[in-house]
């Protein structure tokens, strides 16, 4: 992915038909489907619910065949303008080897999600050569901040980090969650790659491992103990992918347990262990992850990380 230009899907316009699907975990709230439909309407889109979106198979939103059927139907339906995942959880990697990448290559369209959907959006960028989007779920709370960045990336055929007013720029808008801190100053440019750390680790050594060469890696996670984050970062280092990066933008690792029976380390100490020796720009605290105010990031689009300024700018339009 890092070494080739990806196809830009068409931008989302008023009246766009958006497939709402659940390729991972079961929807636990009865009104999750209704919230997704209402959000689409509020954004000016037409919601098209996947046939099995409300299904249940243990902790999954239906059997593997059911979830795959909804995904491939949405990818292959020329009347569908975008595929928006309702939530993550677990289950995408169970069906990844049977996704119809040829369908989205034939008829590019935005596919949107994060967390467990990290596996799907990275695979689409790699296998189909189409820009995919690490962004909020259709069931998520949609703050003004989240909506601003979602619409700038998906509805406007211009760089999301450029233009006036400054408050519309992904480079300068900082959400209420806190400051962005530099681990190592510097400026780097490269294609954006990343998402949920657990899922990126799960893709290592598979045909769907992203291309990290020259990329700006962004990371997030939730409900992971710090020692597990430490171990996953060690795996990335041992696999050699960290040494290929141009820069690193760390998002939010929410609901993290830092203490073990043997003691504790600070999150900053763990990050420094793996990223400081790389000699590349690294900053953490970006609005990426399981938070209400979050960015929508297009995988494969060039970005510029200025660690000292605490900015990550999308340099190219992600949609046509």
Per-residue pLDDT at 306 exceeds 90: yes
Instruction: Give the angle subtended at the CA of 111 by the CAs of 314 and 291, to the nearest 5°.
Output: 65
Query: According to the model, what pLDDT value does residue 174 have?
Result: 39
Residue 49 host element (H or E): strand 46-49
164 annotated active-site? no
Q: For the chain, give the longest Cα–Cα distance.
A: 56
Per-residue pLDDT tens digits for 14-58: 999 999 999 999 997 878 899 999 999 999 999 999 999 999 999
Average pLDDT over residues 240-267: 89
Q: Provide Rg for the chain, Cα atoms.
A: 18
* DSSP assigned state of 114: -
Q: What is the mean pLDDT of residues 279-300?
A: 96
Burial class, 40, CB count within 10 angstroms (exposed 0-12 / middle 13-18 / buried 19+): buried
CA nearest neighbour of 32 among 43, 47, 44, 17: 47
* Distance between CA atoms of residues 247 and 192, nearest Å: 10
Q: In the chain, count of helices (H) and strands (E)?
A: 9, 15
Which sequence spans correspond to the domains of the chain? Answer: 17-150, 166-314
Is residue 119 a contact partner of residue 202, using CB atoms and an 8 Å limit? yes
115 counts as catalytic: yes
Asked if residue 73 lies in contact with residue 50, where contact means CB atoms within 8 angstroms, the answer is yes
The model's confidence at residue 4, banded by pLDDT at 50, 70 and 90, is low
**Rounded-to-integer distance, Cα 155 and Cα 12, Å:** 5
- Mean pLDDT in residue range 191-197: 98
**Mean pLDDT to the nearest integer, 216-227:** 96
Q: Which of 134, 149, 284, 290 is catalytic?
A: 290
Residues in the chain: 320
Homologous superfamily in CATH for domain 17-150: Murein tetrapeptidase LD-carboxypeptidase, N-terminal domain (3.40.50.10740)
Quickly name the fold that domain 166-314 has: Glucose Oxidase; domain 1 (3.50.30)
Token pair in block for residue 125: 């960028």
Instruction: State mean pLDDT over 299-312.
Output: 95
Considering the candidates 115, 134, 284, 311, report the single residue annotated as catalytic: 115
* 315 class by beta-carbon count within 10 Å (0-12 exposed, 13-18 middle, 19+ buried): middle
With contact defined as beta carbons under 8 Å apart, do 172 and 166 qualify?
Answer: yes
Residue that the structure tokens 């103990």 belong to: 225
pLDDT value at residue 203: 98
Q: Specify whether 224 is catalytic.
A: no
Phi, psi of 161 (to 5 degrees): -100, 15
Residues facing 18 on adjacent strands: 47, 82
186/180 Cα distance (integer angstroms) = 14
Among candidate residues 134, 169, 220, 224, the one labeled active-site is: 220
Give yes or no for a cis peptide into 45 (omega within 30° of 0). no
Give yes or no on whether 17-150 and 166-314 have one common fold: no
Q: pLDDT at residue 165 above 90?
A: no
């Amino acid at each position: 992915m890092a070494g080739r230009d990806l196809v830009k899907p068409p931008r989302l316009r008023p009246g766009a038909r958006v497939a709402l699907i659940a390729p991972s975990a079961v929807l636990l709230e009865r009104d999750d489907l209704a919230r997704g439909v209402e959000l689409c309407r509020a954004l000016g889109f037409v919601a098209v619910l996947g046939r099995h979106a409300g299904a249940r198979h243990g902790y999954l939103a239906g059997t593997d065949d059911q979830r795959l059927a909804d995904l491939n139907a949405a990818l292959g339906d020329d009347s569908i303008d975008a595929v928006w995942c309702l939530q993550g959880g677990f289950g995408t990697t169970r069906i990844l080897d049977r996704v119809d990448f040829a369908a989205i290559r034939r008829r590019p369209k935005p596919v949107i999600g994060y967390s467990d959907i990290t596996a799907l959006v990275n695979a689409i960028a790699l296998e189909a050569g189409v820009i995919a989007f690490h962004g909020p779920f259709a069931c998520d709370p949609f703050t003004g901040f989240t909506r601003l960045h979602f619409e700038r990336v998906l509805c406007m055929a211009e760089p999301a980090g450029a233009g006036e007013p400054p408050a519309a720029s992904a480079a300068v808008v900082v959400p209420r969650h806190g400051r962005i801190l530099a681990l190592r100053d510097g400026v780097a440019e490269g294609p954006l790659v990343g998402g949920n750390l657990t899922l990126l680790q799960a893709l290592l050594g598979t045909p769907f491992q992203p291309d990290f060469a020259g990329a700006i890696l962004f990371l997030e996670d939730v409900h992971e103990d710090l020692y597990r984050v430490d171990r996953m970062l060690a795996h990335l280092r041992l696999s050699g992918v960290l040494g290929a990066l141009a820069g690193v933008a760390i998002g939010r690792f929410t609901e993290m347990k830092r203490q073990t029976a043997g003691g504790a380390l600070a999150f900053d100490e763990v990050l420094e262990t793996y990223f400081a020796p790389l000699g590349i720009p690294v900053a953490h605290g970006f609005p990426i992850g399981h938070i209400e105010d979050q960015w929508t990031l297009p995988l494969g689009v060039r970005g510029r990380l200025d660690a000292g300024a605490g900015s990550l700018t999308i340099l190219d339009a992600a949609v046509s």
